[in-house]
Chains A and B, each alone.
Chain A
Amino acid sequence: AQTVTQSQPEMSVQEAETVTLSCTYDTSESNYYLFWYKQPPSRQMILVIRQEAYKQQNATENRFSVNFQKAAKSFSLKISDSQLGDTAMYFCAFMGNNAGNMLTFGGGTRLMVKP
């Protein structure tokens, strides 16, 4: 079974600064996807960025980028130029290619962006 670990329960960052959220996972599969979801106070789950395991290039979406280290099974999220609207819970998630493609989530990191 897959496991996803987020070792930082809470983090804070000053507005306009850069912050990195950590995520590690464990799997025996070779082909899979990794995701970062944002959950603001509204509780809506919003996809931030995704990475396909067979792609070596790190994914980037505007101010959000990932550092994907397949051998180390590490998948960190970097938020540049942090904005107040980035304040939210962030969940790292794994999707394999077996048994229905469900998402396995980490425990989440609560990010607070301070003015």
Chain B
Amino acid sequence: DSGVTQTPKHLITATGQRVTLRCSPRSGDLSVYWYQQSLDQGLQFLIQYYNGEERAKGNILERFSAQQFPDLHSELNLSSLELGDSALYFCASSVASGSLHEQFFGPGTRLTVL
């Protein structure tokens, strides 16, 4: 158990819908990362937040957005869903940003878009 929690575990929805994935980092970790694992794109970085502020952006679609709240949990919002958005979405957390710290991964949320 990494100490990072993600809910829900599974999500099945239809094209065009909007979903929210939630992540709670390890106690004391200020930095949250979101990754997407799909058959087409492999594992890729989406976005990072540090202590409530966006720190880095990767290959995140405009239909996707995220935020980190004062209690440090983070949410990833996916809208206008397409079949290709079906993937495993991981959240990871680390102590800090700006230096090389190990990232601890949550169990992931499996999103299926029908």
Please report A residues at the B interface, Cβ cutoff 8 Å. 31-33, 37, 42-47, 50, 52, 91, 95, 97, 99-108
Contacts and interface: CB of A to CB of B under 8 A. Distances in A.
If over half of A's interface residues share one DSSP class (helix, strand or loop), that class is named, otherwise mixed; here it is: loop
Given A33-B100, A45-B90, A47-B102, A99 B56 contact: yes
A44 B107 contact: yes
Contacts of A52: 100
A58 B49 CA distance: 32
Nearest to B49: A100
Contact of B88 (A32, A37, A43, A102): A43
Interface in B58-114: 58, 88, 90, 92, 94, 97-105, 107-108, 110
Nearest to A97: B100
A56 B55 CA distance: 31
If over half of B's interface residues share one DSSP class (helix, strand or loop), that class is named, otherwise mixed; here it is: strand
Contacts, number: 60
Contact of A108 (B33, B42, B101): B42
Interface string B24-44: 000000010101000000111
Interface size class of B (residues with CB under 8 A): 20 to 34
Nearest to A96: B100
B97 A100 contact: yes
B88 A101 contact: no
Contacts of A108: 42-43
29 contacts: A31-B100, A32-B100, A37-B105, A43-B88, A43-B107, A43-B108, A43-B110, A44-B2, A44-B105, A45-B90, A45-B92, A46-B105, A50-B102, A99-B56, A100-B55, A100-B56, A101-B31, A101-B56, A101-B97, A101-B100, A101-B101, A102-B33, A102-B45, A102-B56, A102-B58, A103-B33, A103-B35, A105-B42, A108-B42
Contacts of B31: 101
A103 B45 CA distance: 7
Contacts of A97: 99-100
B100 A45 contact: no
B48 interface: yes
A102 B48 contact: yes
Contacts of A31: 100
